[in-house]
Amino acid sequence: MFRDREDAAQQLAQRLKGREFKDPLVLAIPRGGVVTGAVLARELGAELDVVLARKLRAPYQPELAIGAIGEDGEEYLADFATGVMGFNEEYLEHERAHQIAEIERRKQRFRALRPPAEVSGRSVIVTDDGIATGATMLAALHVIRAKQPHELIVAVPIAPPETIATLRHHCDALECLVAPAFMGGISAYYADFEQVEDEAALSLLRDYRRPAGHPPTP
C-alpha cells in the first residue's frame, strides 16, 4: 500500500537512481501520472513533460480498454477487441473520434505551456500512477519509440504480471514496485488516490524546474 502518488514515486526513484541515464526525460501520462512524473523527474534530475495517449473504451464497459490512441494518431487495438460485445467498425470509428478530440483538447492546454520535449537520443522514462490493461501505456510507447530515444524505460508503481510481460516487449527496461496476481482497481493500493484534475497537472508541469547541477549527459 502506498500513502499517495508522491510516496509511490519516491520508491520508484530509489529503484532507478543506480542507473546511468543520457540526458534523462520523464514523460508522464496525464493526469495522475504527472504527479508521479514530477517526483521522479526531480529525484533523477530529469526534464519533465507529458505524453498524450487515450484508451479506447469497450462498448457498455467504459472501464475496459480495448486499445488506445496516441497524440500522433497511431492506434493500438487489443487482440480481444473484436470479440467484445457491441464492438463493430461503426463503434470503433465513433470512439476513435471521441478520444482524438480529447487528445486535441489536452494538446491545446498542455502544449500551450511549452512545445513537446525533444526525445531523440535521450533516456526516456515513461510513467503513470498505475497500469491495468496497459493499452494507454502501449500507445504512448509506440509514439515515443518512433522518435528514436536512446532508451525507453517504463516506471510504474503497480501493474499486473501479464501486463508487465506485454510491456517488456515494447521498452528497454521496466520497473514496477507491486505486481499483484489478482489485481483490482489501482486505487485499492493507495491510501490517498484523490482524482487529479487538469489544472493540478498543468500547475505541476508549469512550475517544474529541472534541478540545478544536472546538465545533459553527452
> Do residue 37 and residue 105 come from a single domain?
no
Q: Which of these, 188, 204, 213, 161, lies nearest to 50 by C-alpha position?
A: 204
pLDDT category at 218 given cuts 50, 70, 90 is: very low
Tell me if 210 is assigned to some domain.
Answer: no
> Do residue 82 and residue 23 come from a single domain?
no
Tell me if 140 is assigned to some domain.
Answer: yes
- The radius of gyration of the chain's CA atoms, rounded to the nearest angstrom, is 17
CATH number at residue 183: 3.40.50.2020
> Do residue 120 and residue 170 come from a single domain?
yes
Is a pLDDT exceeding 70 seen at residue 213? no
- Number of CB atoms found within 10 A of residue 39's CB: 23
> Do residue 44 and residue 119 come from a single domain?
yes
> Do residue 148 and residue 165 come from a single domain?
yes
Q: What is the mean pLDDT of residues 17-46?
A: 96
Which tens digit of pLDDT belongs to each residue from 37-69? 999 999 999 999 999 988 899 999 987 888 888
Q: Which of these, 130, 105, 92, lies nearest to 7 by C-alpha position?
A: 130
- Angle at alpha carbon of residue 93, lines to 64 and 133, rounded to 5°: 20
> Do residue 120 and residue 153 come from a single domain?
yes
* Coil, strand or helix at 26: strand
Domain termination site, one of 82, 109, 136: 109
The overall average pLDDT reported for the chain is: 92
Tell me if 21 is assigned to some domain.
Answer: yes
Looking at the structure of the chain, the number of domains it has is 2
Is a pLDDT exceeding 90 seen at residue 113? no
**Residue whose C-alpha cell is 521498452:** 171
Q: What are phi and psi of 63, to 5 degrees?
A: -80, -15
Domain that holds residue 72: 55-109
Sign of CA dihedral 53, 57, 62, 63: negative
Any alpha helices (H) in 21-88, and if so which ranges? 32-44
Q: Provide the pLDDT for residue 40.
A: 97
> Do residue 43 and residue 63 come from a single domain?
no
For the full predicted model, state whether its pTM sits above 0.85: yes
C-alpha cell at 209: 524546474
Q: Rounded CA gap, 194 and 189, in Å?
A: 12
Which tens digit of pLDDT belongs to each residue from 66-90? 888 888 888 888 889 999 999 999 9
> Do residue 30 and residue 47 come from a single domain?
yes
Complete DSSP assignment for 119-136:
-TTSEEEEE-S--SS-HH
Amino acid type, 176: C
> Do residue 19 and residue 88 come from a single domain?
no
Tell me if 215 is assigned to some domain.
Answer: no
